[in-house]
Amino acid sequence: MNNSSKFPEVEKLSGKKAIFLLGTDQYIGEGLDEDGHSKEIETRVGVVPEQVKAMRNWLESNGVALDFFFVKGAGTRADFLDTAYLEIGGQVLFEHQLSTMPAPHVVHALKEPSAYETFIPGPFLRIGALHSGAFDYTSGVAFLFKRRNFSAIFDGSNIGTERNIPIRGAMSVFAGEIATEFSVKHFNANQISNAKVIISGGGVVGRASLKEFIRIGEDNYGEILVVEPNENTVASLAENYKDNPKIKIVKGSALNTEQVKNANAVILTAFIKGQSAPDVLMLSDIKEMSDDSIIVDVSIDERGGIKLDNFTKENYSLPEIVSKISEAISKLGKRIKYIADDHLPKHKPKKASIAHGQAITPYISILLYCSARLGGASQTAKYILGGDFSDQNDETREILQHLKNGLAFYSPARIEFNETIISDEDNKNSYKNFFRANSIECDSFE
């Protein structure tokens, strides 16, 4: 098992300490699984024992002792038992015991916050995926807003640069592969051959899905059409697959009736940072698909890519959106299987957990290091928000800039949100209305 992560060189400290809490994602898992059953729990864990050990070794080599706590059962569903974390010096806590622990500098769970995190003494730096383009008033992050026990919340889906989001990218590959596996499984179950496949989006998810079709589904498909809005991506993909007559790459921001007509599978992957997913597939076009076809909406993470008439997705929770779309597709009477599972990589929990940990441990480590160096989580949040990393080498400066790009919420006297991440006006207003309704002062930054 390769758990290696690249840690930067930093100024060596002496006699410092940092506190890290690994949370559980067992309460995460809205939507439908591949069999249409609702609310399957998340199975992954944010970092695995060997990765925590590597972080501790790096911190200790730089003069920082690490106190590591973890929520009981955090890694069990990914086959990383509590005993494995205990063996590397971890201290296990039940959720109701969190309020008694020393205030952690960094709290990490792979997905968005859960309500139990309000028990954690603060202020702390919280890092994990947020799905910030789909704010829900009943979500865990909303509980944190009310509790105000954090100094900063970093969105793993925005840590990086415009063109390189390492943490999200690591999981996007799994999502694309699994979307293809679901489709091929469906073709085999329904004896579908020479299938017409549509992939909306040629980004990381779309490319991974396409590669997986070529790897495992070549006997199933007759044509794969990739529809991608970016000209450069279209050109790159067209060049890569110019010798495969079954694959066609076209420019487009949405699917049209002719493209969808007689399709046996449609995979939706479109994603815009900080916004709801763009609507790329109309219900009226879905009825043009073949009977017994399949739709896998990977973009359901950000409310999905299917447009229903007279239905504003921003006004509904994710489970309500999935239910509404599923019902509308069912009424078409074409036996179309609809998969809208917002945590697809959980179907390969151990492998996905390792990949996620490899991507995120350098960021967690730098947050812990800075907390020790600067005197706490609040000072680290202020330092990162300030954006002046001239005291660091190029490698560390890059990691810190990535973190600044992913700093979604900052909480000094008021809660401030990042307008680069929360950029969609409807979504921005959802946050503002929530803050107003709960008498929380808010502001914004870029």
Q: Which pLDDT belongs to residue 270?
A: 82
Nearest to 210 by CA among 188, 201, 345: 201
pLDDT-above-70 percentage for the chain = 95
Least confident range of 58-62, 99-103, 412-416, 437-441 = 412-416
13-29 confidence digits (pLDDT tens): 999 999 999 999 998 86
Residue 276 has pLDDT above 90, yes or no: no
Give the pLDDT of residue 90: 98
Tokens 């205030």 locate to 103
The pLDDT tens digits for 75-99 are 999 999 999 999 999 999 999 999 9
Give every CB contact of residue 84 below 8 A, 6+ residues apart in sequence: 48, 49, 75
Alpha-carbon span 63 to 58, nearest angstrom: 9
Q: What per-residue confidence (pLDDT) applies to 366?
A: 98
- CA-to-CA distance for 155 and 252, rounded, in angstroms? 29
For 85, phi then psi, to 5°, come to -75, -35
Predicted pLDDT of residue 1 = 43
Lowest-confidence pick of 2-11, 59-68, 115-124 = 2-11
297 pLDDT more than 70: yes
What does the pLDDT read at residue 81?
Answer: 98
Q: Where are the chain's structural domains?
A: 16-165+348-445, 173-346
Q: Which of 57-61, 139-143, 172-176, 217-221 has the lowest mean pLDDT?
A: 217-221
Query: Residue 427: its pLDDT value, please?
Result: 85
Contacts of 153 (CB under 8 A, 6+ apart): 113, 125, 126, 127, 130, 141, 144, 407, 408, 409
**Residue range 45-63: average pLDDT?**
97
Higher pLDDT, 426 or 364: 364
Overall average pLDDT of the 248-271 stretch:
94
User: How high is the pLDDT of residue 21?
Assistant: 98
Give the per-residue pLDDT at 300.
86
From start to end of 149-264, where are the E strands? 150-155, 195-200, 221-228, 247-251
Average pLDDT, the chain: 92
Same fold, 16-165+348-445 and 173-346: yes
Q: Is the domain defined by 173-346 classed in CATH 3.50.30.60?
A: no
What pLDDT, on the 0 to 100 scale, is given for residue 41?
A: 81
Which is nearest to 372 in space by CA: 56, 9, 13?
13
Are 320 and 32 in contact by the 8 Å Cβ rule? The answer is: no
Q: Is the pLDDT of residue 33 over 90?
A: no
The tens digit of pLDDT for each residue in 102-121 reads 999 999 999 999 999 999 99
Q: What is the pLDDT of residue 435?
A: 95
Residue indicated by tokens 């506190």: 19
- CA–CA separation, 344 and 179 (whole Å): 8
Confidence of residue 37 (pLDDT cuts 50, 70, 90): low
Cβ contact 217:184 at 8 Å: yes
Closest C-alpha among 92, 27, 77, 110 to residue 355: 110
Evaluate if residue 275 carries a pLDDT over 70.
no
Amino acid present at 6: K
What CATH architecture is 16-165+348-445? 3-Layer(aba) Sandwich (3.40)
pLDDT surpassing 50 at residue 2: no
> Which tokens is 383 given?
């330092």
